[in-house]
Amino acid sequence: MEEGPDGLVLSMDVKGTAELKAWILEWGSNAEVLEPESLRQEVAAELERAAARYGGRPTDRGGGG
C-alpha cells in the first residue's frame, strides 16, 4: 500500500478475482480498479447494471436514501 496523488494505492497478487470484485464493490464510488483491465471492466459493468436498476446513469448527488 502506498500514498498516490489521488489517495491510497493497494497492490496485491491474487489467484482469482471473484471475491476481490465483491470486496471492491463494497467500496462503491470510493474505489477505482486500475489494473488488470479485465477486472476494471468487470467492476464497471457491475456498477453500470446497478445504476440502471436505480433509474439511469449515476450522478454526483452522493448520500443515500
pLDDT along the chain (65 residues), means of 10: 87 87 92 93 94 74 52
In a domain, 65, yes or no: no
3-state helix, strand, coil in the chain (%, to 5): 45, 10, 45
- At 16 the pLDDT is 86
pTM across the whole model = 0.72
Residue 19 lies in a domain: yes
Asked if residue 29 is part of any domain, the answer here is: yes
**In the prediction, which pLDDT does 63 show?**
52
Q: Is residue 36 part of a domain?
A: yes
| Residues of the domain holding 36 | 15-53
Domain count for the chain? 1
Q: Does residue 61 lie in a domain region?
A: no
Contacts of 2 (CB under 8 A, 6+ apart): 8, 9, 11
On whether residue 49 sits in a domain, the answer given is yes
1 part of a folded domain: no
Give domain status of residue 60, yes or no: no
| pLDDT at residue 8 in the model | 87
